[in-house]
Amino acid sequence: MPKIASATIDEVNNRTDIVALVNEYTRLDRRGSDWWGCCPFHNEKTPSFHVLPDRKMYHCFGCGEGGGVIKFLMEMEKISFTEAVISLAKKNGVEVIYEGSNYQEPEKNNTKDLYIELYTRVSGTYHFFLTQSELGSFAKSYIVKRGISEEIIEKFELGYAPSDKYWLKKFLKEKKYSDEFLKESGLFSNNYPDISFFIDRLTFPIANRKGQVIGFGGRLLRGDGPKYLNSRESEIYRKRENLYAFHLAKQHIRQKKAIILCEGYMDVIAYHQAGIQNAVALLGTALTEEQVKLIQPFIETIFLSLDSDNAGVQATLKSIIVCRKADITVKVISFKEGKDPADILLNNGVEALTRCVDSAIIDVDYLLSFLAKEYNTDTPEGKTKAALSFFPYVEALKSDIQKETSLEKLCQTFSLKPEAVKKDFNNRGLYKSSIQNDKQSKTQQVPVKKEKIKPNVELRAIIAVIANIDCFPKIRTKINAEDFEDAMARDMFIALEDCYREGAVSFESVMSKCSSDGIHQFVAEYITNGEFSINTEKTIEDIIVLLKRNSLERKRDRLTNQIRQFTVVTLEDQKQLESMISEKMNIDFELLQKKDANG
């Protein structure tokens, strides 16, 4: 397959807002003209991820990752260079042109895009039935009585699936969708492919992080059947990897550095109705590691707002462990004035729901309170069971200080002797295991830095050129690829020259032509530290002189070695020739300096 033309890469690079792109994956804060945030490539609490919008580059001082907009998308989405360019081109309205005028892009498998388009169309149709059709008027009355405003109905694109179980299939067949395509869509019964999966239900579109509809939740409002139905997993929908309303809450999550995790769709909607817009919902029974990975770059604290029934409590307990293993602070919201956020908002108002959030307790206090109710801690047996149930939480903590403090709280709560508790904790093998798991976890969370390329004079010189790429037209008239002895530096100069001749010189287009491993990170690290942004003109002049001098000296050495190989030449003649060569090289070098001095 032909390469994408450098001009296309250049245009994609120029049109892509790197701050907006990175902000989709981690929270960035502005410091001066640059942006900083926690690295999306490894787990950290102190921001070391540096983004330079003017250069469209990033570099993490923690794990060493670095590059430009295309490299960033490649690493985050685990896609190829070509796929990343095409994705960003589509997003920014750039036509993708390939090298070779006769090339036509082959047909690609766009099944995922077609299913997303289908779900988007169906979502709009369901929304129409709820808001503008008599068919959905009773469903509209139900949610209005629940205190949901028109604004929220539009924001969440709530809908209504008609009671006619054959209607959707007929509608989509009229839109020229094939039976085979619809069968795999998840919108119809597996056993009866003409019957809709969602019938006579209030619908909640489920979107991915980009806001594209990938599934539905459906609430029964009348008749018999499960209270809620959710889309089956499909090519575009994985419940472990998504969160309901994350695309709507993402900006508020960034601002607050916190997220509220709910159990149901209506709970999320209630929070947003109350102006608490960093709420999302799980799409399963408990929080998953994939969901933690999705939200971790944006947050410092997770608020668990799950039901108070047995299933909700178990989900809370499991979620606490998952969060603590990821080194995330956890608080638990309790509902004393109602059974869930939707009821509290409806019956007690916004202030009551806000109080519940503000009075959330730290997870360790929640656990100890739960254990005090679960076991008879007036007896030695009950205290032992409570302590043993508490130990997995301690094991999940990352800090030794946190472990120590939590064990002390356990002792204080149940009147236990610290020595006995620590002995039991250690005897279970958990303490040792937790330390080992901690080390393994950190090894996994913080990628081992790749073996760094050792900088030399020539590499630093070519990086300075890339950092000041507008100077390349002047530089290329004075030096060429042969002036570089280092293979990597020479490769980058050739890439610069190729891009210049193609009329597209940018960091991304140059890097796309370099094959050396780790070159993106290496170049990004040196450019982002600002080393080559001061005294630019003087730096470039020094580079030219330095490279030419080194090149001339290498030529002199080569010629001298060649002379020494001729045994017919006398020692006196050899010395005389070497002297002449050195003199000639010195004259060339002086002429070079004068030429540079005169511009």
The string of pLDDT tens digits covering residues 389-425 is 999 999 999 989 999 999 999 999 999 999 999 988 8
Is residue 338 domain-shared with residue 267, that is, in the same domain? Answer: yes
- Residue 588, pLDDT > 60, answer no
Lowest-pLDDT choice from 100-109, 220-229, 316-325, 533-542: 100-109
> Can you tell me the distance from the alpha carbon of 263 to that of 314, in angstroms, rounded to the nearest whole number?
12
Residue 54 lies in a domain: yes
Q: Which of 188, 208, 237 is the last residue of a domain?
A: 237
- The per-residue pLDDT for range 110-138, each reduced to its tens digit, is 888 899 999 999 999 999 999 999 999 99
At residue 557 the predicted structure's pLDDT band, cuts being 50, 70 and 90, is: confident
In this prediction, residue 570 carries a pLDDT of 56
| Residue 81 sits in the same domain as residue 28 | yes
Closest CA to 586 of 560, 562, 552, 555: 552
Say if residue 545's pLDDT is above 60: yes
By DSSP bridging, strand 57-60 and strand 49-52 are: antiparallel
Residue 1 is assigned to a structural domain of this protein: no
Q: Which of 67-76, 96-105, 315-324, 450-459 ranks highest by mean pLDDT?
A: 315-324
Residues 416 and 355 in one domain: no
Same domain, 258 and 227: no
Under the banding of pLDDT at 50, 70 and 90, the label for residue 441 is very low
For the chain, how many structural domains are there in total? 5
pTM for the full predicted model? 0.70
CA end-to-end span of the chain, whole Å? 44
Band (pLDDT 50/70/90 cuts) for residue 143 is very high
Q: Is residue 463 domain-shared with residue 593, that is, in the same domain?
A: yes
Answer whether residue 101 is part of any domain: no
Whether the per-residue pLDDT at 365 is higher than 90: the answer is yes
CA 398 vs CA 395, 435, 442: distances in Å: 8, 8, 9
pLDDT score, position 366 = 95
Q: Is residue 27 pLDDT above 90, yes or no?
A: no
User: Would residue 366 count as lying in a domain?
Assistant: no
pLDDT category, 585, cuts 50, 70, 90?
Answer: low
Q: Are 450 and 518 in contact (CB under 8 A)?
A: yes
How confident is the model at residue 170, as a pLDDT?
95
pLDDT at 338: 61
- Give residue 586's domain range: 457-597
- What is the pLDDT averaged over residues 533-542? 70
**Which residue would you say has higher pLDDT here, 187 or 460?**
187
Judged against a pLDDT cut of 50, whether residue 554 lies above it is answered with yes
* Residue 209, C-beta contacts closer than 8 angstroms, at least 6 positions apart: 24, 242, 246, 247, 250, 294
Q: Which of 92, 118, 135 is a domain's end point? A: 92
* pLDDT, position 354: 93
pLDDT of residue 593: 54
- What does the mean pLDDT of the chain come to? 85
Task: Assess if residue 98 is contained within a domain.
Answer: no
Q: Do 127 and 52 sit in the same domain of this protein?
A: no
Give per-residue burial for 162-171: e unless 16+ CB within 10 Å, then b.
Answer: beebebbbeb
Question: Nearest Cα to 201, choosing from 217, 219, 187, 226?
Answer: 219
Residue 49: give its domain's CATH number.
Answer: 3.90.580.10
The answer to whether residue 450 sits within a structural domain is no
pLDDT of 337 strictly over 70: no
Q: For the domain that residue 194 is a member of, what is the CATH number?
A: 3.90.980.10
- Confidence class for position 109, pLDDT limits 50, 70, 90: low
Sign of CA dihedral 336, 338, 343, 349: negative
pLDDT tens digit string along 241-264?
999 999 999 889 988 889 999 999
pLDDT for position 435: 38
Answer yes or no: do 336 and 281 share one domain: yes
Residue 181 lies in a domain: yes
Task: Write the DSSP symbol of residue 196.
Answer: B
Picking from 145, 149, 157, the residue whose alpha carbon sits closest to that of residue 275 is 149
Residue 443 has pLDDT above 50, yes or no: no
Report residue 320 CA to chain centroid gap.
Answer: 22
Question: Interior CA angle at 173 toward 168 and 177, to 5°?
Answer: 110
Give the Cα separation of 239 and 243 in Å (integer).
7
Mean pLDDT of all residues in 90-108? 74
Same domain, 46 and 128: no
Q: Is residue 313 part of a domain?
A: yes
Are 316 and 440 within one domain?
no
- 305 and 350 in a single domain? The answer is yes
Task: Tell me: do 177 and 210 sit in the same domain.
Answer: yes
Q: How far is CA 549 from CA 260, 528, 540, 543, 562, in A?
A: 63, 28, 14, 10, 20
Q: What percent of the chain has pLDDT over 70?
A: 85
Confidence bin at 298 (pLDDT 50/70/90)? confident
Mean pLDDT, range 312-322, rounded to an integer: 93
Predicted confidence at residue 434, as pLDDT, reads: 43
Which residues, in sequence order, are bridge partners of residue 35? 30, 51
pLDDT band at 438 (very low <50, low <70, confident <90, very high): very low
How far apart are alpha carbons 155 and 591 in whole angstroms? 71
Q: What tens digit of pLDDT does each residue of 144-166 get?
A: 998 899 999 999 999 999 999 99
Whether 251 and 198 map to the same domain: the answer is no
| Whole-number percent of the chain with pLDDT over 90 | 50
- Out of 359, 382, 406, pick the residue that ends a domain: 359
Q: Are 505 and 491 in contact (CB under 8 A)?
A: no
